[in-house]
Amino acid sequence: MHHPTDPATTRSSAAAPLARPAGELTLRTLAMPGDANAAGDIFGGWVMAQMDLASGIRAAERARGRVVTAAVNEMAFAMPVKIGDTLCIYTDVTGVGRTSITLKVEAFAQRYLSDRMDRVTDATFVMVALDGEGRPTPVPDTGV
């Protein structure tokens, strides 16, 4: 029988402990007591908010301007983030449409006073570029 954290038995869901991050490290932040429930587990909504911030940073860089979140796909939490962990958010631009940018976003917990990194969750975020009037605007070509 395989151990549940054995990479050979890990299925391709958000729940892959010991997985390697894909994409670019976009945001690191410390999980604090004010972000936790009474058991010391960090609220999932806080983790999602950090993922949204990272998506906004990366998409605004790519769009060279203002972006907003248009959609987030299903998110399942594989394991908790605990007080004292460093939440590390990795983003990868997987698609660029006329006005939208799609990103794969992964959240990892670097465990308190440790080098251990556990994948907590992942999701696909769709961001839309906006002009100065708040209307969707084309994402500039990168010239590549």
Predicted confidence band of residue 86 (pLDDT cuts 50, 70, 90) = very high
- Would residue 124 count as lying in a domain? yes
- Would residue 53 count as lying in a domain? yes
- Would residue 18 count as lying in a domain? no
Reported as a single tens digit per residue, the pLDDT across 124-140 is 999 999 999 999 999 99
Q: How many CA atoms lie within 13 A of 12 on its CB side?
A: 0
Reported as a single tens digit per residue, the pLDDT across 37-76 is 999 999 999 999 999 999 999 999 999 999 999 999 999 9
22's CB contacts (< 8 A; 6+ apart) are 90, 92, 104, 106
Burial 95-127 (b: 16+ CB within 10 A, else e): ebeebbbbbbbbbbbbeeeeeebbbbbbbbbbb
CATH number of the structural domain spanning residue 81: 3.10.129.10
- Would residue 134 count as lying in a domain? no
- Would residue 37 count as lying in a domain? yes
Q: What's the rounded Cα separation, in Å, for the pair 85 and 97?
A: 35
DSSP bridge pairs for 72: 125
Q: Report whether 74 contacts 80 (CB < 8 A).
A: no
- Would residue 142 count as lying in a domain? no
- Would residue 12 count as lying in a domain? no
| Number of structural domains found in the chain | 1
In the predicted structure, residue 144 carries a pLDDT above the cut 60: no
- Would residue 75 count as lying in a domain? yes
Q: Which residue range is the domain that position 124 belongs to?
A: 24-129
pTM to 2 decimal places: 0.85
Measure the CA angle with vertex 121, ends 107 and 45; round to 5°.
85
In the predicted structure, residue 12 carries a pLDDT above the cut 80: no
